[in-house]
Structure formats: structure tokens, C-alpha cells
A and B are shown apart, each in its own frame.
Chain A
Amino acid sequence: AQSVTQLDSHVSVSEGTPVLLRCNYSSSYSPSLFWYVQHPNKGLQLLLKYTSAATLVKGINGFEAEFKKSETSFHLTKPSAHMSDAAEYFCVVRGDSNYQLIWGAGTKLIIKP
């Protein structure tokens, strides 16, 4: 069965410094992986997705993620944090069925001025 673990419930960085949000997955076959962002009191928006093409995936707002099969990881990074990046980020893996997405518990990103 597929599963996903977000290793940090909260990450705090200063504005202008790099961001790293960690995600490990478990999958019995080649996974499809996603990162979604949820700004306070808003809905969810897709940041980026990996679907077995290039292992380095670029998303919106300067975010990118690298699929590492050997480490079963799909960490989300951004070179320089902006105040507007403060939000909750969810790592998601496609489940066994076509309809199913398995969601991580989320990582809250806090940006210090």
C-alpha cells in the first residue's frame, strides 16, 4: 500500500533563506507524487507533480522538488523564502486505485521577517 510521511510538522525560516520541506513515500510501484499548498483560510492549490518523467520537477512560485527513488524521498525546496510562502504544505502520493490520493499530515511553513 502507498503511504507518505512528512518529516516535520513545522518549519521556520527567515525571509530570504532557503526552504526545505521533507517528504518520504512508500510505494509498491513507480509512484505519482504531488505537493499542494494551502494558504490560511484558503483552498488547496497544486504546486507541482512528479509522474515518472524528469526527476527534478519545477513548480509555481519558485518551488521545486526532486524525486529520489533510492531514498524514497520527494523533498520540496525553494532557494529564497518570501513572506507570501507562509502556508501549510502537503505531500501527496497516488494510492492503489485511480481515484485515490494519500495525503501527508502537512508541514506548516513559518517565515520570519
Chain B
Amino acid sequence: NAGVTQTPKFRILKIGQSMTLQCTQDMNHNYMYWYRQDPGMGLKLIYYSVGAGITDKGEVPNGYNVSRSTTEDFPLRLELAAPSQTSVYFCASRRGSSTDTQYFGPGTRLTVL
């Protein structure tokens, strides 16, 4: 199993540009998550999904969109990049129960200039 994979690893965007962060898991997990991690801070939840076709907002959803057309994939879309979105983005997945382990991807370091 590859686990959770994310692409790209690094990206620099100009203000107003758009991009999609890709996330794929091969563990057949129901739950998938997108977090952002700002320097010196813990993780903040952006969006999550409990299964294909079902998504919902987390703590900090503004400026982002998601979709979940398959169990494996959970892309995160930034429509109009802003400097405040400079962060490290992590995708994670979990099988089901709230006490199950969350498995994380390696992260995408995004800079918006």
C-alpha cells in the first residue's frame, strides 16, 4: 500500500491564481480530510468527507472547495489564491470509527506571493 499520497510537494502561486491539490488513498478508507498547518500552530481542518459524494466544511473552509467523486480521491481546490493561504497542506484518511488512526500524506508546501 502506498497509503496517502499528495501532489505536488511544493508550489508557488501568484495572487489570484487557481490550483488543485491532489490527494489519493489506497486503503479504502471512508473518511478523508484536508488540514492546513501554519507555522507554530496545530492543524486546522479545512474540509472533510465521510464517503464518495459527501463533503462538509471544517473550521477554516473559506477560499477552498472540495469534491469526492470516488473513495480514493479527495482534491482540494483554491480558486483565487491569497497570501493568507500560504501554508502546508495535509491530506489524511481514516477507516471509520473516531478512534481509528488517521493516516497522513507527506504534505504540500504552498506559497502565495
Contact = CB atoms under 8 A, between A and B. Distances in A.
A-B complex is real: yes
Interface string A41-64: 011111001010000000000000
B102 A46 contact: yes
B53 interface: no
B50 A9 contact: no
A44 B40 contact: no
Chain A interface mostly helix, strand, loop or mixed? Answer: loop
Contacts of B42: 90, 103-106
Contact of B107 (A43, A49, A106): A43
Contacts of A99: 31, 33, 48, 50, 56, 98
**Best-buried of A32, A46, A94, A99 by chain B (most CB within 10 Å):** A99
Nearest to A49: B99
A83 B7 CA distance: 30
B90 A43 contact: yes
A46 B43 contact: no
A103 B40 CA distance: 12
Interface of B: 4, 31, 33, 40-45, 48, 50, 56, 58, 90, 92, 98-99, 101-102, 104-107
